Structure 1
């Protein structure tokens, strides 16, 4: 079963910002993919296992950006 989570992300300026976020998030165990849309200021994460939204927010912060989980 695949779980999908979406996050609002601020502080991005270009596509390289999105790539940095995706690289950081995809290192988390249980994450199968991360797709960041810089123009929409959104990151969509697909998971195969339990990963707390807070851990994904932390990974995005480690890349230098601010994220908020969306319902």
Structure 2
């Protein structure tokens, strides 16, 4: 089963920012995919259910950006 978690991300300035976020998030064990859009300011993360939203927010922060979960 795949879980999908959505995040609002701030601080992005170009498409490369989204790639940096996706690279960092996809390093988390249990993340199967991460897709970030500069246009929408959103990141959608697909997981195997063993990753918490806090883990993803921390990974996005490591990449240099701020994120909040979209309910």
TM above 0.5, yes or no, is yes
Task: Give the equivalent residue in structure 2 for 1:18.
Answer: 18
Which sections of structure 1, spanning at least 5 residues, go unmatched? Answer: none
- What is the CA distance between 1:48 and its match in structure 2? 1.1
SS at match of 1:33: strand
Residues matched between the structures, number: 71
Matched, 1:4 2:7: no
- What is the CA distance between 1:23 and its match in structure 2? 0.1
Spell out structure 1 runs of 4+ moving beyond 3 A.
none
SS at match of 2:59: helix
Normalized against structure 1, the TM-score is what? 0.98
The 5 A counterparts of 1:31-50 are 31-50=31-50
Task: Give the equivalent residue in structure 2 for 1:70.
Answer: 70
Normalized against structure 2, the TM-score is what? 0.98
Take 1:65 and 1:35, find their aligned partners in 2: how far apart are those partners?
Answer: 15
Q: What CA deviation, in whole Å up to 9, does each residue of 1:26-46 have, x standing for no partner?
A: 000000000000110000000
Take 1:49 and 1:10, find their aligned partners in 2: how far apart are those partners?
Answer: 25
Take 2:2 and 2:57, find their aligned partners in 1: how far apart are those partners?
Answer: 19
Take 1:50 and 1:30, find their aligned partners in 2: how far apart are those partners?
Answer: 6
